[in-house]
């Protein structure tokens, strides 16, 4: 893969560079609640700005309906992103009102040398995720915004998607990997190559079915796999426990039973949970053994004994990968499990990789210093697909070379 450093060494002074970033940040109205993905894009953007490039950034936010006006829905407009990016680079970032229309052409033409501008939410154009022919047509129009330009892919959170701004565009322009994509790829190859041992993986989240592929791919390769989150209740049910009203995938019980039998020395389940009378921050709660959840109650977090047990495995680890919270960490009564495991990972001397998404948000919500972790990924889905052994289209196309 050719990198942004290769591009800069060839000279970008006054040249257009089209950057695909991942700015799919969480919002409360128009307020960004976690700007981690914007900050993760800064090294590549500031390198290009410092080298005198004319930087045009494309990104998505949320799941806008195809053809929806980019500024109408507060959940899909990139207005708060443009504002925050401008604050971080200490310069105004113009925002186009469309993806490839007249406003985008005007904004692209006006971007100054060493300046940054942002296209409207690229997913507001339905061709972004359309048929191959539709994606190709959009990529052609995106390339026309940057005559004589180059493409830098730095949105790791979307490299597992065949989309116009990720895949097809890399065949329209000389294509390079940004610092973030290069670092993410390097780290994940370290995990799938010959990681230092003991190698401990922590998986949480809501569904076994969402993590089944990565479970089956990793279990033969890791020393210990710790299971938390709502997905643990399907495993507990497979052991014959009554999990009350906890989230349960009945169709996955047999699969979990088979995994427990085959990997009894590798899989570690919670020994206690925080149960609640209902799914609410105001519910009655109690910490109970994992096999004694009251009838009708829901398990919403792992308990303190589980955190301690998980922590003992993490203390001895040399490599750690974590994806998925241990409970409903957004609600204060059910955040302690995720926070406790995060602290145990941070305190470990292991090379630790946080697999993006809610895990990364939970670390920031807990106020933990990000420098205490080896790497915090920006792409939960992309990280998991890489660890499943899948080829990521957005990486494969970059490795074809410019």
Provide the annotated active-site residues.
Answer: 37, 207, 357, 381
Residue of 61, 57, 117 lying closest to 91 (CA atoms):
117
> Tokens 């990565």 map to which residue?
214
Q: Is 330 annotated as a binding residue?
A: yes
161 is in an annotated binding site: yes
Beta strands across the sheet bearing 54-58: 94-95, 116-118, 54-58, 16-20, 150-153, 175-177
Cβ count within 10 A of residue 297:
21
CB 158 within 8 A of CB 394: yes
15 appears as a binding residue in the annotation? no
Task: Find all residues with CB under 8 Å of 229, minimum gap 6, and list them.
Answer: 203, 204, 205, 206, 324, 325, 326, 327
Tell me whether residue 355 is annotated as binding: no
User: Taking Cα atoms as reference points, which of 120, 107, 26, 131 lies closest to residue 69?
Assistant: 120
Q: Which residues contact 360 (CB under 8 A, 6 or more apart)?
A: 34, 36, 354, 376, 377, 378, 380
329 annotated as a binding-site residue? no
Residue 248 C-beta-side C-alpha neighbours within 13 Å: 19
Contact predicate 2/177, CB 8 Å: yes
- To the question of whether residue 92 is assigned a binding role by annotation, the answer is no
160 annotated to a ligand binding site: no
**Neighbour-count burial of 109, counting CB atoms closer than 10 A to its CB (0-12 exposed, 13-18 middle, 19+ buried):** exposed
Q: Is 62 annotated as a binding residue?
A: yes
247 known member of a binding site: no
The pair of three-digit structure tokens given for residue 171, joined into one six-digit string: 């065949």
Query: Is 148 known as a binding-site position?
Result: no
Residues 6+ apart with CB under 8 A from 328: 279, 300, 301, 334, 335
Listed residue (206, 180, 188) closest to 355, CA to CA: 188
Report the side by side order of strands in the sheet with 375-376: 267-268, 224-227, 199-203, 319-323, 351-354, 375-376
Does 72 show up as a binding residue in the annotation? no
What is the CB-side half-sphere exposure of residue 65 using CA atoms within 13 A? 4
Distance CA 49, CA 41 (A): 12
Q: Is 105 annotated as a binding residue?
A: no
Q: Is 115 annotated as a binding residue?
A: no
* 359 is an annotated ligand-binding site residue: yes
Is 356 part of any known ligand binding site? Answer: yes
Where is the binding site, in residues?
22-24, 37, 60-63, 123, 161, 211, 299, 330, 356-359
Where is the binding site for ATP, in residues?
211, 299, 330, 356-359
Where is the binding site for substrate, in residues?
22-24, 37, 60-63, 123, 161
């Amino acid at each position: 893969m050719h990198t942004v450093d290769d591009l800069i060494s060839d000279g970008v002074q006054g040249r257009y560079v089209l950057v695909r970033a991942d700015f799919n940040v969480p919002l409360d109205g128009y307020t960004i609640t976690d700007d981690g993905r914007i900050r993760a894009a800064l090294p590549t953007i500031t390198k290009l700005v410092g080298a005198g490039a004319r930087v045009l950034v494309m990104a998505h936010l949320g799941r806008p309906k195809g053809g929806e006006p980019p500024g109408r829905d507060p959940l899909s407009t990139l207005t708060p992103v443009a504002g925050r990016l401008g604050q971080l680079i200490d310069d105004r970032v113009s925002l186009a009102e469309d993806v490839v229309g007249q406003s985008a052409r005007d904004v692209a033409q006006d971007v100054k040398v060493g300046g940054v501008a942002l296209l409207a939410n690229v997913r507001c154009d339905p061709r972004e995720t359309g048929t191959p022919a539709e994606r190709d047509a959009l990529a052609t129009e995106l390339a026309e915004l940057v005559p004589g330009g180059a493409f830098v892919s730095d949105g790791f959170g979307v490299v597992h998607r065949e989309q116009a701004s990720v895949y097809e565009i890399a065949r329209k322009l000389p294509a390079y990997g940004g610092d973030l994509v290069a670092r993410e790829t390097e780290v994940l190859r370290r995990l799938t190559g010959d990681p230092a041992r003991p190698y401990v993986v922590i998986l949480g989240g809501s569904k076994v079915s969402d993590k089944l592929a990565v479970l089956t791919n990793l279990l033969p390769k890791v020393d210990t796999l710790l299971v938390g989150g709502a997905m643990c209740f399907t495993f507990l049910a497979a052991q014959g426990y009554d999990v009350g009203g906890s989230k349960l995938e009945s169709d996955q019980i047999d699969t979990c039973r088979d995994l427990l039998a085959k990997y009894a020395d590798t899989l570690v389940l919670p020994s206690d949970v925080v149960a609640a009378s209902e799914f609410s921050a105001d519910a009655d709660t109690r910490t109970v053994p994992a096999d004694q959840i009251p009838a009708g109650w829901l398990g919403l977090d792992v308990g303190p004994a589980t955190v301690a047990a998980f922590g003992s495995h993490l203390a001895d680890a040399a490599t750690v990968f974590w994806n998925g919270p241990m409970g409903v960490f957004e609600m204060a009564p059910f955040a302690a499990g995720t926070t406790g495991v995060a602290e145990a990972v941070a305190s470990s001397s292991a090379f630790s990789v946080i697999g993006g998404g809610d895990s990364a948000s939970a670390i920031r919500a807990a106020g933990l210093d990000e420098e205490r972790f080896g790497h915090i990924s920006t792409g939960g889905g992309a990280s998991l697909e890489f660890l499943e052994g899948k080829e990521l289209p957005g990486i494969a196309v970059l490795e074809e070379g410019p």
